[in-house]
């Protein structure tokens, strides 16, 4: 039996808080070749998940909030926000599923946020993500402005 409890969430959040990227995964699947990838994602508000999509092979992706609050976004091909939801257990928004081929991202809105993520495998590092050309690269100085604009546009 695999158990997800407050102790595991706390330990993972502590590691995310101390990491340079301000996030940390905990994988439940055994390896990259598994056809079902299941993991916890601990996120802190300063993390940046570059908008991307999954194609060739197509993959569905599901995010379920366990703790905290996450803005989940879908974008059109030009970078406009086509759909969004704030996942927050207290508000009754628990999960979002992203269909294949749609640009998407998450923005962490609260410290010690943890999501359970499910996506189809296998994990192929060279082709798993197609990054949006209109989004800044991770670590670039434009990231802060990019995230601020999204939050401002949505009134957050």
Residue-wise pLDDT tens digits, 93-107: 999 999 989 999 999
pLDDT at 11: 97
pTM of the model: 0.92
pLDDT at 122: 73
pLDDT at 30: 87
What is 6-153's CATH topology?
Jelly Rolls (2.60.120)
Q: What is the DSSP string of 86-132?
A: EEEGGGTB-EEEEPTT-EEEEEE-STTEEEEEEEES---TTTS-EE-
The DSSP bridge pattern shows strands 130-131 and 52-53 to be antiparallel
Residue reference for tokens 């939050």: 151
pLDDT tens digits, one per residue of 115-131: 999 988 777 666 678 89
Mapped onto helix, strand or coil, the DSSP state of residue 84 is: strand
Q: Whole-angstrom Cα distance, residue 55 to residue 76?
A: 15
* Domain boundaries, given as residue ranges, for the chain: 6-153
């Amino acid at each position: 039996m695999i158990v997800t409890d407050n102790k595991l969430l706390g330990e993972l959040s502590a590691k995310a808080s101390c990491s340079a990227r301000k996030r940390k995964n905990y994988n439940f699947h055994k390896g990259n070749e598994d056809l079902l990838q299941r993991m916890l994602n601990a996120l802190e508000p300063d993390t940046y998940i570059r908008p991307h999509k999954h194609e060739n092979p197509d993959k569905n992706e599901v995010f379920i909030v366990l703790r905290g609050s996450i803005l989940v976004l879908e974008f059109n091909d030009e970078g406009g926000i086509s759909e969004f939801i704030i996942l927050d257990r207290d508000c009754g928004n628990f999960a979002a599923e992203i269909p294949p081929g749609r640009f998407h991202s998450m923005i962490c809105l609260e410290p010690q946020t943890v999501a359970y993520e499910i996506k189809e495998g296998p994990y192929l590092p060279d082709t798993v993500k197609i990054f949006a050309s209109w989004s800044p690269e991770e670590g670039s100085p434009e990231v802060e402005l990019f995230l601020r604009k999204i939050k401002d546009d949505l009134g957050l």
